[in-house]
């Protein structure tokens, strides 16, 4: 098999990724992602299957108006139907009408599927492969051959699967992609079959397309590359049917940083985290905090011994420099923390705290006490920062709570709820009493508190609650269980998270809400104090 040694990346987020449960792309979403992938440096972008739905046909129409600087756009489809001349197959015609420089063909490479799914003969399937590829190549298209069920088919009948690949190679396919369609193969199997198939190919380059049903999609892709594959197909963040496809984000990082097989400039690899978050945002998916390389927790350290070590040498517990993939080191604080955690965590927040200082010990003891009571500060940086301010004697309450009250009324006739909250606070000796309604008790409480404070702190007009999460800490206690509440807030420029814990969900919400307001005012107090009306 003759080939260049460079590896190309083929992204199928917009087609194969869209088949994942909970993934829904609008036409605008698909166009945005395609442009972002091109800017990132992706070599091939599969836009969809023009023979399957109107949205994909419209995507290719709109994509013609875009100028792709790096990527080659691919339309996905299948070989001609059995006993149908290729030039008369409507689905093949739509592939040409899509106007893309590349067409990717899914072809049966398993005797089982030829007989039981296509219900045709082995020779007719080979003819379908040859005819369709030649026809598209003659019409000026680069053709990528995706052999469906390659590995399962090879294990069942190696001679026939090989014949499928030889037919595609002879017909002029640029890449001969081996697909682990059911995701059931192991890396040693993939490596062996890649090597054996590669030895029989004359012109085309081998590629690999894996699924994650065994949690091995990335491992199998890397094994195939090690054995000679020169194209990796996958999706951003591993979106895909069932358990997903090969995660290109993880694969790119491993190829570039571990196998030393450069696929992109280093500065593009440093955009991996941003790309991952962008696609999650467009797809309306919550990012995976534990995602390798790019997850929020990928370089997070909690154990005191670990934190002490990374403070001296980050490589002691980090396999790469986080910034190589656009990530950053995080220090967590909790019951397993030592003073080094507290010091480093404070430092990341711009606070100076010496490891052996009494203040550090005070913060550590307070955190361990609170976590024993059910608090968690890993996702509540703002509440942690307030703790440090209090330990350093820098905290000054922005207001004093005198009382609050929350009520919910149900109208039996209309089945409507009315939530009302009253808040009485004191600011610099002045008492303020407010009443507000809201969509639920917490929203009403938030509205009443800000209504009471906004005359003193106008900047609170910009603050809003972004997210609200509730966790029952000890479910075995039933209604007597403690409740942990996380609140995420924003002022339009930054976001911050706070936590509150209580046996009463309203009390827990109040504690998190108070921290949220206090955090904003503690950071902007000089500016706010000067702008009082």
What confidence tens digit (pLDDT) does each residue in 297-354 have?
888 777 767 766 777 777 888 899 999 999 887 766 655 455 555 566 666 555 666 6
Angle at 253 between CA 248 and CA 259, to 5 degrees: 115
What number is the average pLDDT over the span 480-502? 86
Cα-flanking dihedrals φ and ψ of residue 178, to 5°? -90, 125
Cα 304 from Cα 139, distance rounded (Å): 64
Q: Is the pLDDT of residue 231 over 60?
A: yes
What confidence tens digit (pLDDT) does each residue in 381-402 have?
888 888 877 777 777 888 999 9
Is the alpha carbon torsion for 431, 435, 438, 442 positive or negative? positive
Q: 278 or 250, which is more confident?
A: 250
Helix/strand/coil percentages in the chain, nearest 5? 45, 20, 35
What confidence tens digit (pLDDT) does each residue in 133-175 have?
999 999 999 999 999 999 999 999 999 999 999 999 999 999 9
Which region among 137-151, 246-260, 506-520 has the lowest average model confidence (pLDDT)? 506-520
Q: In which residue are the tokens 């609140």 written?
A: 487
pLDDT, residue 281, reads 85
pLDDT, residue 409, reads 84
Most confident of 336-350, 366-380, 461-475, 493-507: 493-507
Which region among 187-191, 377-381, 447-451 has the lowest average model confidence (pLDDT)? 377-381
3-state secondary structure 213-266: CCCCHHHHHHHHHHCCCCEEEEEHHHCCCCCCECEHHHHHHHHHHHCCCCCCCH
Q: Of the CATH numbers 3.30.499.10, 3.40.640.10, 1.10.3720.10, 3.20.20.70, which one belongs to the domain with range 8-282?
A: 3.20.20.70
Please list the residue range(s) of the chain that carry CATH number 3.30.160.270.
400-530
The angle that helices 381-391 and 505-530 make with each other, rounded to 10 degrees, is 70
Neighbours of 402 (CB within 10 A): 12
Share of the chain above pLDDT 70, in %: 89
The angle that helices 441-453 and 505-530 make with each other, rounded to 10 degrees, is 20
Cα 119 from Cα 108, distance rounded (Å): 11
Please answer whether residues 489 and 459 qualify as being in contact, where contact means their C-beta atoms are separated by less than 8 angstroms: no
pLDDT, residue 324, reads 95
Give the global pTM. Answer: 0.71
Which region among 71-85, 316-330, 470-484, 496-510 has the lowest average model confidence (pLDDT)? 470-484
Pairing mode of beta strands 330-331, 300-301? parallel
CA distances from 248 to 16, 23, 89, 142 (A): 13, 17, 33, 22
What number is the average pLDDT over the span 231-240? 97
Q: Is the pLDDT of residue 475 over 50?
A: no
CATH 3.30.160.270 given to domain 400-530: yes
Torsion of CA 226, 228, 231, 234, to 10 degrees: -40
The phi-psi region of residue 157 (left if phi > 0; otherwise alpha if psi is between -120 and 50; otherwise beta) is: beta
Cα 148 from Cα 127, distance rounded (Å): 16
Residue 190 per-residue DSSP state = H
Q: Is the pLDDT of residue 4 over 60?
A: no
Please list the residue range(s) of the chain that carry CATH number 3.20.20.70.
8-282
Tokens of 467: 């997210």
């Amino acid at each position: 098999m003759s080939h260049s040694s460079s590896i190309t990346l083929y992204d199928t987020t917009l087609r194969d990724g869209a088949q994942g449960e909970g993934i829904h792309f609008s036409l605008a979403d698909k166009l945005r992602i395609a442009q972002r992938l091109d800017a990132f440096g992706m070599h091939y972008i599969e836009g969809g299957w023009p023979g399957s739905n109107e949205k994909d046909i419209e995507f290719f129409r709109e994509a013609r108006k875009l100028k792709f600087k790096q990527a080659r756009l691919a339309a996905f489809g299948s070989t001609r139907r059995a006993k149908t001349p290729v030039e008369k197959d409507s689905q093949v015609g739509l592939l040409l009408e899509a106007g893309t420089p590349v067409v990717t063909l899914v072809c049966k490479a398993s005797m089982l599927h030829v007989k039981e799914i296509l219900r045709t003969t082995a020779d007719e399937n080979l003819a379908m492969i040859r005819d369709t590829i030649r026809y598209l190549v003659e019409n000026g298209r680069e053709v990528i051959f995706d052999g469906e069920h390659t590995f399962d088919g090879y294990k069942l009948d190696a001679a026939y699967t090989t014949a499928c690949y030889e037919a595609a190679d002879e017909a002029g396919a640029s890449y001969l992609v081996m697909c682990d369609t059911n995701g059931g193969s192991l890396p040693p199997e993939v490596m062996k079959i890649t090597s054996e198939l590669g030895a029989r190919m004359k012109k085309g380059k081998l590629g690999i397309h894996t699924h994650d049903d065994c949690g091995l999609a990335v491992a199998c892709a890397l094994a195939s590359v090690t054995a000679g594959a020169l194209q990796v197909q996958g999706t951003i963040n591993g979106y895909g049917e069932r358990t997903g496809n090969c995660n290109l984000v993880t694969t790119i990082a491993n190829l570039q940083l571990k196998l030393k097989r450069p696929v992109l400039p280093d500065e593009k690899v440093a955009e991996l985290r941003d790309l991952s978050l962008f696609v999650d945002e467009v797809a309306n998916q919550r990012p995976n905090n534990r995602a390798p390389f790019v997850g929020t927790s990928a370089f997070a350290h909690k154990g005191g011994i670990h934190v002490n070590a990374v403070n001296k040498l980050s490589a002691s517990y980090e396999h790469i420099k986080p910034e190589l993939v656009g990530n950053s080191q995080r220090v967590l604080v909790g019951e397993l923390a030592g003073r080094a955690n507290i010091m480093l965590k404070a430092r990341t927040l711009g606070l100076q705290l010496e490891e052996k200082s009494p203040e550090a010990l005070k913060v550590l003891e307070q955190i361990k006490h609170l976590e024993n009571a059910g608090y968690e500060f890993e996702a509540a940086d703002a509440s942690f920062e307030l703790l440090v301010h209090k330990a350093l004697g820098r905290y000054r309450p922005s207001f004093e709570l005198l009382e609050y009250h929350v009520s919910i009324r149900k109208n039996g006739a209309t089945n409507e709820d009315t939530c009302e909250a009253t808040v009485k606070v004191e600011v610099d000796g002045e008492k303020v009493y407010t009443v507000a309604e809201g969509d639920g008790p917490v929203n009403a409480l938030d509205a009443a508190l800000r209504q009471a404070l906004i005359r003193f702190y106008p900047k609170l007009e910009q603050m809003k609650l972004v997210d609200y999460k509730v966790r029952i800490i000890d479910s075995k206690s039933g209604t007597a269980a403690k409740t942990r509440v996380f609140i995420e807030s924003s002022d339009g420029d930054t976001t911050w998270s706070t936590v509150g814990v209580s046996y009463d969900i309203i009390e827990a919400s109040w504690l998190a809400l108070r921290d949220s307001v206090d955090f904003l005012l503690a950071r902007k107090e000089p500016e706010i104090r000067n702008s009082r009306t």
